[in-house]
Structure 1
Amino acid sequence: MPTMPKSLFWSRTDTAGSEHAVFDDREGLLARGVVLAVDPIPYTCRYQLTVGADWCTSSLEVEATGAGWARNVRLERAGDGWRVRTGEEGDLDAALRAAGHPPAGLPGTDEPDRLAAALDVDLSGSPLFNTLPVRRIGLGRTPADHARQVTVAWVLLPGLAVLPTDQVYTSLGPGRVRFASDTFTADLDIDPDGFVVRYPGLAERIDPR
């Protein structure tokens, strides 16, 4: 497994948790990361992401584990659509119900054709994945108030269901991007390479001193 030349670390602000990603962005993006969170139940998520030189996602592998359960999903671009494979051990839904939360349902999707329009993927709770449409669209080079709608394959944690979701990214000038999905909106601070520095209500990056 090759080593990665860069890394980023975020602390969650919506719950106890964090994300650490190591990556190489010299030609597209190859990233491996770990997401930790206690909400809705404690879990650890590990992912590996491959993005081409055009910043369209090629593949994403995600594994989520907690007490008494484990799930995984793999998304791989195949022609004009996506191939989705899943695995499951234990009973996540039982763990969620015991903690007073609704069940997550099955991982993956029964209708991968609904993901056909997605050029990007998004992992819930992870600020790294906002970089994908920002870099692919080139929002860092567009004038303020330039808005673009994208369709993403959204992977929900901890259950790993995969949904097609429309999102809107709007340039607000240097270092600022507005993210909107359905009724949710957040103004993100990003660095010159398009990586999130601050995501209000979700996470803040912790840089080495």
Structure 2
Amino acid sequence: MGTLPKALLWERTDTTGTDLALLDDRRGLHARGVASAVDPIPYLCRYELVTDETWATAHLDVSVEGGGWLRTLRLERAAGRWRVTTAEQGDLDRALANAGHAPAGLPGTEEPDRLHDAIDVDLAGAALPNTLPIRRLGLLGAPPGTVHRLTMAWVLVPSLEVLPSDQTYRVVDEGTIRFDIDGFGADLSVDKEGYVLRYPGLAERKA
């Protein structure tokens, strides 16, 4: 396993938690991350995200682990189609029930064709995936008012259920991208490379 030259660290603002991503973005993106949070139950999330040179997702590997349970997910995109592979150990639903929460959905998706229009992935609770459409669509240099409506392969955490998600990215100014999903909107503050500095209601960059 080779080293990755950059490190970005976010602190969650919606719950107690952090997200550390190591990455190489010289030819597309190769990133490995470790995130932790206490909501809805304490968990540790490890992920690896790889794109092609255009910043279109090639694959995403995620494992989420908590007390007495572990789930893994692999999303692969090739020739416009998604392949989804999952595995599970222990009982996440029991851990959620013990904490007073509803059961989780099953990991993955039984209908990968619903993801047909998706080029990018979105990992719940992580700020890094927002950079994918920003870089892929050239939003950093686009004039204010530029807007793109996208379908994302949205990975829920900790369940690792995968859903198609309609999202909108709109350029506000040089350092601000407006992000909207299912009636929720946030003005993302980004740096000159398109990485999120502040995601209101979710996370803030600390390094």
Give deviations 1:27-76, integer Å, cap 9, x for gaps: 00000001100000000000001011111000000000000000000000
The 2-side partners of 1:87 and 1:70 are apart by 8
- 2:2 matched residue in structure 1: 2
Secondary structure at the counterpart of residue 128 of structure 2: helix
Q: What's the CA shift string for 1:76-117, capped at 9, x where partnerless?
A: 013221000000000001111111111112100000011111
| Separation of aligned partners in 1, 2:179 and 2:97 | 32
- Aligned pairs (5 A) from 1:6-21: 6-21=6-21
* Displacement over 4 Å in runs of 4+: none
Instruction: Measure the CA separation in 2 of the matches of 1:18 and 1:88.
Output: 24
Is 1:112 paired with 2:115?
no
User: Which whole-Å CA distance do the structure 1 matches of 2:90 and 2:145 have between them?
Assistant: 47
Letter in 2 for 1:131: T
Report how many residues are paired: 207
1:58 — aligned with what?
Answer: 58
| Counterpart Cα distance in 2 of 1:103 and 1:35 | 22
Look up the equivalent residue of 2:170 and give its one-letter code. T
Unaligned runs of 5+ in 1: none
Tell me, yes or no, if structure 1 residue 169 matches structure 2 residue 169: yes
Distance 1:135 1:167 in 2: 16
Please name the residue that 1:84 is paired with. 84
CA distance in 2, matches of 1:68, 1:154: 25
Q: What letter matches 1:167 in structure 2?
A: Q
SS at match of 1:100: coil
| Alpha-carbon distance between aligned partners in 2 of 1:176 and 1:23, rounded to the nearest angstrom | 22
In 1, the alpha carbon distance for the partners of 2:105 and 2:176 equals 36
Distance (whole Å) between structure 2 residues aligned to residue 94 and residue 167 of structure 1:
32
Q: Distance in 2 between matches of 1:105 and 1:19?
A: 23
CA distance in 2, matches of 1:35, 1:111: 27
Offset of 1:164 from its aligned partner? 0.6
CA RMSD of aligned residues (A): 0.6
Taking the aligned partners of 1:80 and 1:140, their CA distance within structure 2 comes to 25
Task: Give 1:144's aligned residue.
Answer: 144
Secondary structure in 1 aligned to 2:105?
coil
* Separation of aligned partners in 2, 1:13 and 1:54: 31
Tell me the secondary structure at the aligned position of residue 153 of structure 2. strand
In structure 2, the partner of 1:205 is 205
For structure 2, the residue ranges without an aligned partner over 5 or more in a row are none
**Matches of 2:57 and 2:150, distance apart in 1:** 13
Counterpart residue type for residue 27 of structure 1 = R
